Homo-oligomer: A and B are copies of this chain.
């Protein structure tokens, strides 16, 4: 396994570059309140994992350590130049848009340790900030300077990804009122809700740099696999991490009746999931619920499902040249299920 510290430092290095790029491409201009609200969650934090994946894929393909040549003038294998940083910003901006709208839909108060946008501002502004980020993301994806046919393909990937995210969110809501959700349906839902954006992050640099369709497909698959594992880990962390570290209410999935790999397994093993926690649970009450889920093997079940996906995702990286960046992409896959927040 790639040294976790090297992986974390690779993420941190790229995060700084992506943060600068966000400030550059999404300045607070008129109407100020709209753009302040659009920036609010982006400025509140975030690990920029998807942009890191995007940049590392580009680096691996070109066999180039990017900070030297600059991501905005990034060499393709054919010698053209592409602004892969703009594509990275696009993906992060889509992520931010979905969080803003999701928080409205779930009526969540906190995100990244600060009030959700519709709490800090208001419902109107939050909807509009999300909508603005949505179109901005398409603008940024159009600003890479890639040959037009590749831009079209990248835009297509971005648009279908956004549609699938909406479908995934709709399925998630739908599942809350259904007690017969299968594991297969759950995996489909998290693929759409979460993993497709990792799929886009991993495949779009390959599209922009002119890779063949086999490479693009394999990288897309890597994104789908590690993205699903990421969501399963997120669901586990929702149960196991203190609220302060999580930046939002611990155990919110149990309270809201969300379907997760954990609760699906628990239900199939005779646990009445709806009754696991009261309406406004204390940390101690969540601990009790967690113990029951642990005893039923549901935590292990979810862990194993995530680990299997990570292994499969890492295997798909074989389409990339063997280099440091590819190692780091394997390391990010491990990181996604090892992280504790």
Q: How far is the CA of A139 from the CA of B152 in the complex (A)?
A: 10
Stretch of A4-12, A47-55, A160-168 lying at the B interface: A160-168
- The answer to whether B132 and A105 have CB atoms under 8 Å apart is no
Write the A172-195 contact mask toward B (1 if CB under 8 angstroms, else 0): 011000000000000000000000
Q: How far is the CA of A147 from the CA of B124 in the complex (A)?
A: 38
Does A276 sit at the interface, judged by CB under 8 A? no
Q: How far is the CA of A128 from the CA of B147 in the complex (A)?
A: 33
- The answer to whether B148 and A135 have CB atoms under 8 Å apart is no
Does A170 sit at the interface, judged by CB under 8 A? yes
Write the A20-51 contact mask toward B (1 if CB under 8 angstroms, else 0): 00000000001101100000000000000000
- The answer to whether A166 and B105 have CB atoms under 8 Å apart is no
Count of chain copies:
2
Known: A138-B138, A148-B148, A149-B148. A167 touches B123 (CB 8 A): no
Contacting residues, chain B, for A152 (C-beta < 8 A) = 142, 148, 151-152, 155
Q: Which residue of B lies closest to A143 (CB)?
A: B156
Known: A33-B170, A34-B166, A148-B149. A139 touches B159 (CB 8 A): yes
Interface residues of A in 65-114 (CB under 8 A from B): 101, 104-105
Known: A31-B167, A166-B34. A138 touches B155 (CB 8 A): yes
- The answer to whether A131 and B101 have CB atoms under 8 Å apart is yes
Does A240 sit at the interface, judged by CB under 8 A? no
Write the A204-242 contact mask toward B (1 if CB under 8 angstroms, else 0): 000000000000000000000000000000000000000
- The answer to whether A135 and B163 have CB atoms under 8 Å apart is yes
Q: Is the interface of A mostly helix, strand, loop or mixed?
A: helix
- The answer to whether A139 and B156 have CB atoms under 8 Å apart is yes
- The answer to whether A123 and B148 have CB atoms under 8 Å apart is no
Q: How far is the CA of A120 from the CA of B163 in the complex (A)?
A: 22
Known: A31-B167, A105-B124, A148-B148. A156 touches B131 (CB 8 A): no
Known: A105-B124, A148-B152, A163-B132. A170 touches B31 (CB 8 A): yes
Does A289 sit at the interface, judged by CB under 8 A? no
Q: How far is the CA of A19 from the CA of B132 in the complex (A)?
A: 28
8 contacts between A and B (CB under 8 A): A31-B174, A34-B167, A101-B128, A134-B162, A136-B163, A138-B162, A139-B163, A147-B148
